[in-house]
Amino acid sequence: MLYLVSYDIVDTSQRTRLAKRLLNFGKRVQYSVFECQLEPQQLEQMKQQALPFVDLEQDSLRLYRLCENCAASVESFGVKKGWEAEDTLVV
């Protein structure tokens, strides 16, 4: 399943650590937005690794699950390429 992951983290060091963790699960398509192709187990693993960097009182982490039809209809303009079906990601 394709997930769009976005975050808004106040603390710079926590934000940097979170971004490094998310690189293990997907592609960065904007500064605080990742596209991740995940199986259910990988999704849980990503959440376990990401949540320690999120202060629930002032930060946000959002996960949007995109159905196959929605993922196929994503349009992208500019230099950043998102996830593509032929991409392989080893976690």
Segment 22-71, tens digit of pLDDT: 999 999 999 999 999 999 999 999 999 999 999 999 999 999 999 888 88
Task: Say what the pTM is.
Answer: 0.82
Report the pLDDT value the prediction gives residue 91, as an integer from 0 to 100.
47
Structure tokens at 48: 């376990």
Structure tokens at 41: 């187990």
Q: Kindly tell me the burial class for residue 59, based on how many C-beta atoms sit within 10 Å of its own C-beta (0-12, 13-18, 19 or more).
A: middle
Report the pLDDT value the prediction gives residue 78, as an integer from 0 to 100.
82
